[in-house]
Structure 1
C-alpha cells in the first residue's frame, strides 16, 4: 500500500465521507455544520467539469452491424468486441444436471428450442420485485424461483434464459430497452417522466437457421415475427421507429400476461402486446458480454446502435459499468450522451471511469472553476481481479486560459502498480489540467485503457 504522509488526515477523510453521505441524502443544508479544512480538492469545486475522450461502458455505433454479428466467429472490422462464456463453466454443467434443459428444449430449430425454454422458465415463478438483487446466475435463479423462495423480474428471467441457452450450446445475450432518455427524472418516476424513461430487459439468441439474432422476452413470454420470420430487438426497433408495428405480430406463449411494474394484471392484453410493449424498443442496448459467471463484477460495454430516432446514450454517468447487483445490473441509469462526467470527481472511489480499449492516446481534461494555483495532483487507480491497474506512462499538463497552450507539468514513464499516485510539482497557475496517456501506456493487463476512480487537484502547501 502506498503511504504518503501529509496527503489526507483521518479527520479529512471523515469529513469527506460525511459530506458525501449528506449530499446523497439531499441534506445539503447540513453541510455547513461540518468542519472545514484548508486543503480543497480543486477538481471538485462548484463549476469545475471533467471531460473525457471516450467510455468503456458506453458505445453508440452508427451501424447496428457493429453489434449484430455472429459472436462465435471472428468479429468483423469495426465491430464492438463481445466476451463469451466458457461453455464448460461448472455452473452451466450443473444447470444441465439439475434441470431438464435438453428435454424442455426438445428438437427443432434454435428458435423453437428457445421458445420452449422461455415458456418453461416463465412457468416456474411469477413476476414480482425480489427481496434482494441476486448475482446473475441462472442456477440460483431457477432453483430459488422454482421452489418459491424468491420472486424475480425481467432481468432475472433474461439471465435464466441466456444461461440455459448457453448450457445447450445456443449463443445468447442480454438486451436492455428504454422507452426514452432524459437527464431530469427522479428515481421511481421513470414511467411517468416526460418522456417516459422506464426500461425492460430481454434476451436474444443466435439462430443458426436464420443466420441472425432473435429476441426472446421471457418475462412477457413473447417474441415477434414479420412475414413468418422471428425478429431481433433491432428489427422491432425499426418497426417501431418506422411506424410499422401493424406489420409485426406478437407470438405469445402460454404464460404471456400483460402487467405493470408491480405485477398487476392489465386489462388491454392485445393493445399492450401490439403497441405498448414494442414502444420499449425505442432504444435497444446490447450487453456485449455474457460471461457473467466467469466475471461477476467486471465492466460491461453497453452498445446502443444510433439511428434517426435513437440518439446516443451515456450509461451510469460515464462509469466503467461494473455490474452492481444492488442496481439489478444496468437499470434506469441511461441519460443523453455527453463527454462530461462527474464520476471522477464525485468523491466515490467505489466507481470509476475507463476509456475505450483502443490503441490510441486517451485524455481526461479538468476545467477548473477559475484560475487556480496548483501544487499537487492525486490519481486513484481501480482495483480489479486483485490488482491495481495504474497507468505505466502518462503526463499531466496545464493550461492558463481557454486559448493557452498546454504546458507539461508532471511526467511519468515507469509508473508502478499502486492504489494511488501522489504528485507534488512546481507551483503552477492554471485554468485547465489534462491527464494524457499515450497509446499503450496503460497497465500491464490493459495497456490500451486509461482507468481511474478519482482525480484530485490541490493548491501548493502553505
Structure 2
C-alpha cells in the first residue's frame, strides 16, 4: 500500500487554493506547500470527517492570574537555626537569565556567588542581611531584607521582608539576555544612555518606549519582517520600510531584554469571530469594523514596585489608576465592570499621532482589552520557527477562544494579523484534515494519553491510517508509540498498535478492514518523540 501523502507531485501550491482575502494580507505565503493526499488510486476519507482532539498546545485558556503574572527577580530566604548563635540561610529565586546572587551582612561590602545556602554567625544586637538576584545582563532584582535580633545568646525576633521564588506552572521560554543580537543592540543604539535619566523602572520603560516610537510612524510593511529588532531597526533607520503595532512591540521587547528588563508580548481582541465565512475561517477579521480586530503591545516587569505593567509603543501610552501603572488584566477588569472612568491614560509626546477622537484613549482603545492573550515565549531571535503557547485569560464575562483553529502556532512573522485568529473554543479542529502540510496541531504537553478522533456521518470501510508527522527545526517529531482504536458497544478498542524509535516523516498503519463511523489515534503516556515524549504532534491524518 502506497501512503496517500505521496504521489508523482507530493506538494501543490497552497497559495493557489486560499481565498483572495488571505492573499491580499499575506503575499509572502506564496509557496506554503499543500499535501497531495489523494492519488488516482486512493480516496482520503479523512477529508469528510470531523476531527476532535483531546487538547491544544498552542491555545491555553486560563483564569489563573498567578500563572499569567508570575513574580520575578526576587529572592526568597528561608531561615533555620543551625547552632548556638548561628543560622542557615537558604536562598531561592525565579529570575529569568539568572547569573548570581549578591548579598551583604550588616551593610558591609557586597559579595556575590551561586551558593544557595549561607551560614551566618550572629552578634549581639541587630543583625542585618540583604540579598538580591542579578541576571546575565547585569540587571539587579529587588532586595530582600532580613533582620535578626539576637540578645543574651537567643534569637528574640526575626523580621523578614521576603521575596517570591515560585516559577509559573507552564514554563515561559525566555530569550538569552546575552544573545549576540541583544548585545549588539545595546551597544549600537546606546540603550543605557536612553534610559539613564529615569529614576524609577517605570520612567526608564517610558523613556525607551518614547524613543522607539520616535523612530517611525505606524505603517503597513511590504512584507511581514522577521521578529528581530536588529532587522526592523535597520529598515526604519534607513527609511526603507515601516511597520505597525506588533513590530513596535517586538522591537521594544527585545530592547528591554538587551537591558536585562523582562518584557513580553500581549495580544488584544475586541471580540471573537462567530463562525467561518468561507468554510475555512478566513475573512471575518478583515471586514471593516469587525468585532474581533486586534492590537499588540507589551508588558514589562517593574522590579521596584514588583508588578507587570502595560507599555503600548504604537499609541505611545500606558494606563494608571491611583498613581499605579496597570497591567492588561487590570485594564480588562475596569472595562468589564464599566469603570473606564477610573482609568488614567498617560500619553507620551507622540500619542497624538493615532488619537482619533478626544475620548479615544479613555473609552475606545480600552475596549480592545475585552480579550487579552500573552505570548508565552520571547525567544524569537534564538528560535524563529518553534511553536508558541498563547495564554488567554478567561472569567465569567470572557469566554475561551481558540487561536488559528487549533494550530500548534509554529511561529510565522504573520502569525499576528487579521486572518482568522480568534474563534469560539471547541475540541474540534480542521487543521489535521485541511490538506495543508504547513499547518500543524500539537496536544498539550501533559503526562496523559493524547488522541485525535475522526467522526463520520455514516460508517466507512477502513483498513489504513496515514500519519504525516510535524516538522520543525528541520526535523520530524514522530510518536514512538501509537494505538489505532475504534468504538465497539460504546467502548474504544485497540485494532492496531505501532512502534517506531527512529525519525520518520510519515507512517502507514494497516489493519484488517473494519466498518465504523469513528476512529481514534491514541498516543499513550510517554509515547511521543524522544524530545517531546508528552506531546502528540501531527501535520495531517489520512484514512482509507
Deviations 1:41-86 (A, max 9, x none): 11111xx211111111000012222111135554847733211110
CA displacement at 1:414 relative to structure 2: 3.8
Task: Classify 1:420/1:285 alpha carbon distance in 2 versus 1 (closer, same or farther; 3 Å).
Answer: same
Alignment of 1:7-406 (within 5 A): 7=4, 10=7, 13=10, 17=12, 21-22=16-17, 24=19, 37-45=40-48, 48-70=49-71, 73-74=93-94, 76=166, 79-106=169-196, 107-184=198-275, 186-187=283-284, 189-193=286-290, 196-257=291-352, 259=354, 266=356, 268=357, 270-328=358-416, 333-399=421-487, 404-406=490-492
Instruction: Tell me the distance in 1 between the aligned counterparts of 2:14 and 2:533.
Output: 35
Deviation, structure 1 residue 24 = 4.5
2:455/2:517 contact within 8 Å kept: yes
The answer to whether the Cα contact below 8 Å between 2:273 and 2:284 also exists between their aligned partners in 1 is no
Partner of 1:30: none
Is 1:453 the counterpart of 2:536 in the alignment? no
Q: Are residues 77 and 395 of structure 1, via their aligned partners in 2, closer, same or farther at CA, if it must alter by over 3 Å?
A: farther
Structure 1 Cα separation of the partners of residues 403 and 330 of structure 2:
23
Q: Measure, in 2, the Cα distance between the counterparts of 1:243 and 1:322.
A: 37
Larger radius of gyration: 2
CA distance in 1, matches of 2:339, 2:543: 53
Q: 2 CA distance for matches of 1:291 and 1:329?
A: 20
Residue 329 of structure 1, CA deviation: 6.7
Counterpart CA distance in 1 for 2:363 and 2:266 is 19
Q: Quick one: structure 1 residues 129 and 354, their matched pair in 2 at CA, closer, same or farther if it must change by over 3 Å? A: same
Separation in structure 2 between the aligned mates of residue 86 and residue 22 of structure 1, nearest angstrom: 40
Contact map agreement 2:286 2:419 (CA 8 A) in 1? no
Structure 2, unpaired ranges of 5+: 22-37, 74-92, 95-164, 278-282
Aligned pairs, number? 432
* TM-score normalised per structure 1: 0.88
Q: CA 1:404–1:102 in 2, change beyond 3 Å: closer, same or farther?
A: same
The Cα of 1:109 is off from its aligned counterpart by 1.8
Structure with greater strand percent: 2
Distance 2:312 2:351 in 1: 10
Matches of 1:353 and 1:231, distance apart in 2: 35
Q: 1:128 to 1:20 in 2, by over 3 A?
A: closer
Distance in 2, matches of 1:135 and 1:375, equals 44
User: How far apart, CA to CA, are the structure 1 residues paired with 2:315 and 2:9?
Assistant: 51
The answer to whether the Cα contact below 8 Å between 2:310 and 2:318 also exists between their aligned partners in 1 is yes
Question: Secondary structure of 2:393's partner?
Answer: coil
User: Over the residues paired in the alignment, what is the CA RMSD in angstroms?
Assistant: 2.3
Greater helix share, 1 or 2? 1
Distance 2:3 2:403 in 1: 36
Describe the superposition over 1:184-242 as per-residue Cα deviations: whole angstroms up to 9, x where unpaired.
3635644423xx11000000000111211000000000000000000001111111111
Deviation at 1:442, TM superposition (A): 0.4
3-state SS of 2:330 partner:
helix
